[in-house]
Structure 1
């Protein structure tokens, strides 16, 4: 077993858990998240949509670990797309400091890696 065969499932599981947690916080409506979405200029419903996508993407990664690898690919794609949106939001909508990009950038890279390594080889 090589390092990738060990590392990718660990990254996939951790990213899945992080996304389920982050999405749940958005859906529940923790105050700091509500304030951030208001600061971004997004409507209230968009927080629920974003949270739902993160939860679904995270669950796809987690379920994909054990049962259906296609769900890992779909979950990874959802996370990658959502993190692109997060990075663009921090950059264009609110001109946030660099540290605000760190989380979404790491999650974007992790999601991209998991998605690519989950693809079947032809």
Structure 2
């Protein structure tokens, strides 16, 4: 009788060890950039929030949410919370895009999916 040794499944863990830092880095860059643009008053951001019609205070709050979420992704042990925080923010962005904004919600959807993936894999 022969015995067959089965190696442990190292591939999924290795894939996760590679995927999570890459996705996290991309999210940090994206949210620091957009959060900074919102807080900095870039003209296109002012125009978007004028179209939404809730005032410029929402632009500033959204910018703070994005910067805080990006920073939270970088704190060891808090990546899950940062990813969920940003996913909730992107859900709001998608809801604003669909009825009000003329631009495509595709970037917000992509960031939502990436945020949920990081939350799931953390």
Q: TM-score scaled to structure 1, two decimals?
A: 0.84
Q: Distance in 2 between matches of 1:9 and 1:117?
A: 10
- The gaps in structure 1 that reach 5 residues or longer are none
Q: Does 1:96 align with 2:108?
A: no
Partner of 2:37: 25
Please give the root-mean-square deviation of Cα atoms over the aligned residues, in Å: 1.3
Q: Distance in 2 between matches of 1:27 and 1:42?
A: 16
CA contact 1:58–1:75 (8 Å) conserved in 2: yes
Q: Does 1:73 align with 2:77?
A: no
Partner of 2:23: 11
Q: Which moved more, 1:4-13 or 1:21-30?
A: 4-13
Could you list the structure 1 runs, at least 4 aligned residues long, displaced by more than 6 angstroms after superposition: none
Quick check: which has more Rg, 1 or 2? 2
- Bigger fraction of residues in helix: 1
Number of aligned residue pairs: 110
CA positional deviation for 1:95: 5.6
